[in-house]
Amino acid sequence: MEITAKTAQQLRLTEDEFELIKQKLGRTPNFTELCAFSGMWSEHCSYKNSIKWLKTLPRDGGRMLVAAGEENAGLMDMGNGFGVVFKIESHNHPSAIEPFQGAATGVGGIQRDIFTMGARPIASLNSLRFGNITDKKTQRLLSGVVHGIGHYGNCFGVPTVGGEVYFEDCYHTNPLVNAMSIGIMEAGKMVSATAGVKKGNPVFFVGSATGKDGIGGASFASADITAESTEELPAVQVGDPFQEKKLLEACLEVIETGAVIGMQDMGAAGIICSTAEMSAKSGAGMRIDLDKVPTRQKNMKAWELLLSESQERMLVVVERGKEAAVLKVFDKWDLSCSEIGEVTDDGLLKFYMHGQLEAEIPAWELVLGGGAPQYTREYKEPAYFSKIHAFELDSIADVTELKPVAEALIQLPNIASKRWIYTQYDSMVGAANASTNAPSDASIILAKGTGKALAITVDCNSKYVFADPYKGGMIAVAEAARNIVCSGGEPIGVTNCLNFGNPYDPEVYYQFVKAVTGMGDACRKFKTPVTGGNVSFYNQNPDGPVYPTPTIGMVGILDDFSDRMTLHFKEAGDVILLVGKQQNDIASSEYLHKLKKTEYSPAPYFDLDEELAVQQFVAGLIKEKRIKSAHDISEGGLAVTLLESGFYSDLGFYISVNPIQTAKSAVRKDAYWFGEAQGRIVVSVSEEEVEKLILTAKEAGITITELGTVSKGHITVNGEDWGSIQEWKEKYDTAIEKLIQ
Catalytic residues: 44, 91
- Torsion angle, CA of 357/363/367/372, rounded to 10 degrees? -80
Checking 155-158 for CB contacts under 8 A at 24+ apart, the result is: 155/241, 155/242, 155/245, 156/107, 156/108, 156/111, 156/241, 156/242, 156/244, 156/245, 156/248, 157/245, 157/429, 157/430, 158/111, 158/121, 158/122, 158/123, 158/124, 158/429, 158/430
Secondary structure class of 656 (helix, strand, coil): coil
Q: Which of 391, 733, 418 is nearest to 596 (CA)?
A: 391
By residue count, the chain amounts to 741
The torsion of the CA quartet 12, 17, 23, 24, rounded to 10 degrees, works out to: -70
SS3 state at 480: helix
Cα–Cα dist 345/593, whole Å = 60
Contact 516, 472 (CB under 8 A): no
Q: Which DSSP letter does residue 354 get?
A: T
* Cβ-contact 199, 140 below 8 angstroms: no
**Order of strands across the sheet that contains 652-655:** 629-632, 681-685, 575-579, 704-711, 652-655, 714-717, 720-724
Q: Which helix (H) or strand (E) holds 678?
A: none
570 neighbors 629 (Cβ within 8 angstroms): yes
Q: How far apart are CA 5 and CA 199, in angstroms?
A: 36
DSSP SS3 for 565: coil
The identity of residue 711, as a single letter, is S
Q: What three-state secondary structure class fits 219?
A: helix
**Residues 31 and 3 sit within 8 Å (Cβ to Cβ):** yes
Q: How far is CA 217 from the centre of its chain?
A: 20
- SS3 label, residue 288: strand
- Is 221:109 a contact under the CB 8 Å cutoff? no
Tell me the three-class secondary structure of 495-561, residue by residue.
EEEEECCCCCCHHHHHHHHHHHHHHHHHHHHHCCCEEEEEEECCCEECCEECCCEEEEEEEEEECCH
As a whole number of angstroms, the distance between CA 467 and CA 160 comes to 31
CA distance 210 to 300: 9
- For residue 214, count other CB atoms closer than 10 A to its CB: 26
Neighbours of 268 (CB within 10 A): 23
Beta-bridge partner residues of 326 = none
- Which residues make Cβ contacts (< 8 Å) with residue 573, sequence separation at least 6? 687, 709, 710
Q: Are 262 and 192 in contact (CB under 8 A)?
A: yes
CA distance 134 to 10: 38
